[in-house]
Copies of this chain bind each other. A is one copy, B any other.
């Protein structure tokens, strides 16, 4: 004979198990606080204030990526435009980027000197740029490579570099643009020798060993009738992204008076957008035309 009714037993068991569970859970909760000391192992990586913060991304193994996806040589304009689309997305989605510069499979983003985005933590800057750029690359791929499916998701490595003065920042961008020029001149001749003269890559490399820029221009001009300066600016100069006011026209469906039926209303809105320029950054002209980029408030 049980001294308790079934209902009573059930209720007591429930109560017990609740207590038991409470204890167990309490254990885990306490456990969390017990483990929280591990947070102190995170290092502070705040960027020095009042410095320009540059994040530079580079495609990982893009040699292989370009081959697998049949990129045109020496330049694939679709690939370059996709890079720029991603960079624009980064500028729109993240905060405080005042200028970006891209060439080949790399892009540099400059955060304003006085940015306090995420308390200037270097890791936030670089991982948010890298991840936003990478997800955009896959997201917008189709818009630039309609006929070429993306075979695998690409990776990008990034780094943060600080520049304490306007001069050092300008010299950084000049360095990247000079790099663009030198590589593009080389690649233009290199691929002309292969594609038009039928040399093997090794032969082309051999042919160019020790040549100066002038020699390469000469080869292009005399052998392929190419005036290097007539090559597209985007290839020779890379892409500069700056914020510019843009008029955006949107067609809006509005309920119109009967006599206007069938017509549509358009709304024009002026917004700042990251706009691509293919211009020289090395001389002073660009900076004089865009004095706001380096201005004291940034």
Q: Which A residues are closer than 8 A to B by beta carbons? A: 14, 18-19, 21-26, 28-29, 31-32, 35-44, 46, 48-51, 57, 60, 89, 93-94, 118, 122-124, 126-128, 130-140, 150, 152-165, 168, 171-172, 174-175, 178-179, 181-182, 185, 212-218, 221-222, 228-229, 282
Inter-chain contact A32/B182, CB cutoff 8 Å: yes
Contacts A40-B49, A50-B164, A217-B18 given; indicate if A131 touches B128 (C-beta within 8 A). Answer: no
* Residue among A132, A153, A154 with most chain B CB within 10 A: A153
* Contact across chains for A25 and B128 when beta carbons are under 8 A apart: no
Most buried by B among A127, A130, A135, A215: A127
Helix, strand, loop or mixed for chain A's interface?
A: helix
- In the complex, what's the smallest C-beta–C-beta distance from A97 to chain B, in angstroms? 14
- Which of the residues B14, B37, B123 comes within 8 Å of A160, measured between beta carbons? B123
Q: Pick the contact of A161 from B28, B42, B218 — CB < 8 Å?
A: B42
Assess A217 versus B25: contact at CB under 8 Å? Given A35-B174, A130-B127.
yes
Contact of A123 among B158, B181, B212 (CB under 8 A): B158
Chain B residues positioned under 8 Å from A163 (CB to CB):
38, 41
Q: Which residues of B contact A222 (CB under 8 A)?
A: 14
Question: A231: shortest Cβ distance to chain B, in Å?
Answer: 13
Contacts A43-B48, A127-B126 given; indicate if A21 touches B159 (C-beta within 8 A).
Answer: no
Cβ contact within 8 Å between A126 and B128: no
If A139-B153, A185-B25 touch, does A178 touch B32 (CB 8 Å cutoff)? Answer: yes
